[in-house]
Amino acid sequence: MFIEQAIADAKEAVAVPEGEYDLRILSAETALSKAAADRGQTSDNMIHCTIAIESDEFPNAAPLHHYIMLVTDPEDKWNNLHLVGQKRFLTVFGIPYEGNGFDIDDFANASGRCLVAVDQTNRGEDVNVLRLPRLKEEAAEQPQRSQNARGAAKPMRRR
């Protein structure tokens, strides 16, 4: 039996050039990272999100994958970094959160706009990755560069 399909029209999904794009979360589920599994951890320590790049210019854009690390060990030195990453992601996609957490059920179909960069896999294939912007209050806390007599910023010293 011959099954008629438009196989000649099939095109591989592609990584898009770096730029800002409209994005939509297709799915989000908790998962266990390979590193945590190798350490013997059994409870999930991250959220794996599959995100569509919605672009008329690139209708065949490959979905990108983003991993949100969760705080699972109160003694982990990276906890603040994980929390900042969570807050940046939630802010970009307009996902509601409270001071003590968020609901993963709010992720599906959430949309936002963000810088998408190009990275390479260990097999040399181009893939897209999110470049989440700094939080507004985070940027305000950055030390200011000193100025010279004419008001121009002095170059920062290297250490």
Which DSSP string do the residues of 116-152 spell out, in sequence order? EEEEE-TTS-EEEEEEPPPPHHHHHTSPPPPB-TTSP
pLDDT in tens, 29-59: 999 999 999 999 899 999 999 999 999 999 9
The contacts of residue 22 (CB under 8 Å, 6+ apart) are 53, 54, 55, 111, 112, 113
Mean local confidence (pLDDT), 90-98: 97
**What long-range pairs does 122-129 form, CB within 8 A, spacing at least 24?**
126/14, 126/15, 127/15, 127/62, 127/64, 127/65, 128/15, 128/16, 128/53, 128/61, 128/62, 128/64, 129/64, 129/66
Q: Is this model's pTM higher than 0.85 or not?
A: no
Question: How many CB atoms lie under 10 A from the CB of residue 127?
Answer: 14
**pLDDT reported for residue 148:** 52
Q: What is the pLDDT of residues 53-77, one digit of tens each?
A: 999 999 999 999 999 999 988 888 9
Q: How far is CA 37 from CA 41, 48, 120, in A?
A: 5, 15, 24
Which helix (H) or strand (E) element contains residue 153?
A: none
- pLDDT bracket for residue 157 (50, 70, 90): very low
Percentages of the chain per state (helix, strand, coil), in multiples of 5: 20, 35, 50
